[in-house]
Amino acid sequence: MNIKLIALDLDGTLLNSKKEITEGNLRALKRCIEQGIMIVPCTGRTSAGIPKEVRSIPEIRYAITTNGAVVEDMEENRMIDTRLLSWELALELLRFVDSYPVMYDPYIERRGITEAKFFNHLADYGLSPVLQNLVVNTRDLHPNIIDYVEKQQKPVEKINLFFGDMQLRQKLRTILEKRSDILVTSSIPNNLEINDPEATKGDALLRLASHMGIEADQTMSVGDGENDLSMILKAGVGVAMKNGIEEIKEIANYVTGTNEEDGVASAINNLVFGAGM
């Protein structure tokens, strides 16, 4: 295969359950880089949430973040392409969800925004200890989220919602999905993620590939969750994790091992370098 760009989801894919990248996966990434293959983190996180073991590799320069809302050059700290929610639309959505017992945090200028009523009660919204630690390290604390968005009047990359009540999650999803001006996806069972309709990992992957002069059939993507479906469909080769949702395994070209079994490394070694084929 003439693969020139590999887009990798992080949570449930490149990272194990401890949110760590294993030595096996790291070796596979470095092997790709040695062969001139671009490695691109493709995540619902911001670039600040990409593990330092990945960001510290100089050749990993580009990232697709907040589900495709931002394509960025991490070396130059520059956004190449954006598909954002207007601040007015974000404010309307935040005011709507504020009437329910749900945790919400918008992403503005590549930072998550939170407030004390959520920050000090993360477990109440179903966040695991590992995820709580991620939130603590990647959010900016402000007195009131809605007031902040209204005063800043800056576009919003994504709105994250976390639920302690799964029936409420389904109720709000049903309501929100009736709108044509937003895209609703999910990356873990107890969250919802709201983006601009054009902010998908798949579309962002193709835009970055075009920017780099790479054809769509020269791209490969690996993912596990609902927000990875678009990039599995649109990449030249779409790879699903064994621990992924059934929908993603059904549409993938290849199913690799789990994120606890160095599934990313296995896919790279088998599909890109032909090991065991």
Band the pLDDT of 1: cuts 50, 70, 90: confident
Whether 117 and 167 share a structural domain: yes
Furthest-apart CA atoms within the chain: distance in Å: 57
- What is the total count of domains within the chain? 2
From 52-61, 141-150, 166-175, 257-266, the region with the lowest mean pLDDT: 52-61
Alpha-carbon torsion 268, 236, 225, 244, what sign? negative
**pLDDT at res. 183:** 98
Report yes or no on 108 lying in a domain: yes
Residues in contact with 92: Cβ distance below 8 Å, sequence separation at least 6, in sequence order: none
Answer yes or no: do 221 and 94 share one domain: no
* 137 & 221 share domain: no
What's the CATH number where 157 sits?
Answer: 3.30.1240.10
Least-confidence region, from 44-53, 79-88, 215-224, 250-259: 44-53
| Whole-number pLDDT of residue 238 | 98
d(CA 125, CA 135): 12
What confidence tens digit (pLDDT) does each residue in 91-149 have? 999 999 999 999 999 999 989 999 999 999 999 999 999 999 999 999 999 999 999 99
Same domain flag for 66 and 97: no
Told to judge if 9 belongs to the known catalytic residues of this protein, a careful annotator would answer yes
Say which of 9, 196, 203, 262 is annotated catalytic. 9
Examine the domain organization and report whether 206 and 258 are in the same domain.
Answer: yes
Residues 76 and 110 in one domain: no
Residues 103 and 182 in one domain: yes
**Same domain? 72 vs 128:** no
Distant-in-sequence, close-in-space partners of 177: CB < 8 Å, separation ≥ 6 = 184
pLDDT classification of 277: cutoffs 50, 70, 90: very low
Tokens of 217: 């059939």
Q: What is the pLDDT of residues 196-235, one digit of tens each?
A: 999 999 999 999 999 999 999 999 999 999 999 999 999 9
Give yes or no: residues 182 and 208 share one domain.
Answer: no
Is residue 87's pLDDT more than 60?
yes
Question: Would residue 115 count as lying in a domain?
Answer: yes
Contact 259, 276 (CB under 8 A): no
Q: Do 238 and 228 form a contact (C-beta atoms < 8 A)?
A: no
Residues 190 and 203 in one domain: no
Residue that is last in its domain, among 195, 210, 231? 195
Q: State the residue range of the domain holding 124.
A: 87-195
Backbone conformation region of residue 126, classed left if phi is above 0, alpha if psi is from -120 to 50, else beta: left
Q: Are residues 178 and 251 in the same domain?
A: no
Kindly report the CATH number assigned to the domain that includes residue 250: 3.40.50.1000
Q: Which pLDDT tens digit goes with each residue over 5-17?
A: 999 999 999 999 9
Cα–Cα distance for residue pair 51/13, rounded to 1 Å: 13
Residue type, 110: R
Q: Does any domain span residue 248?
A: yes
**DSSP-based three-state secondary structure for 56:** coil
Cα first-last separation, the chain: 12
| Domain end point (choices 195, 225, 240) | 195
The candidate with the shortest Cα–Cα distance to 159, out of 109, 212, 85, 216, is 85
Residue 277 lies in a domain: no
How confident is residue 242, by pLDDT bands cut at 50, 70 and 90? very high
Query: Taking the CB of residue 2, how many other CB atoms lie within 10 A of it?
Result: 9
Q: Average pLDDT in the 162-181 region?
A: 97
235 & 209 share domain: yes
Residue 53 lies in a domain: yes
Strands ordered across the beta sheet of 62-65: 62-65, 70-73, 78-82
Q: Looking at 141, 169, 195, which one is the last position of a domain?
A: 195
**Residue at 254 is within a domain:** yes
Instruction: Give yes or no for residue 260 having a pLDDT over 80.
Output: yes
Segments of 83-199 assigned E as strands: 103-108, 111-114, 139-141, 158-162, 183-185, 191-195
Contacts 24+ apart (CB under 8 A), 212-220: 212/5, 212/38, 212/62, 214/4, 214/5, 214/38, 218/2, 218/3, 218/4, 218/5, 219/3, 219/4, 219/5, 219/6, 219/7, 220/1, 220/3, 220/5, 220/6, 220/7, 220/271, 220/272
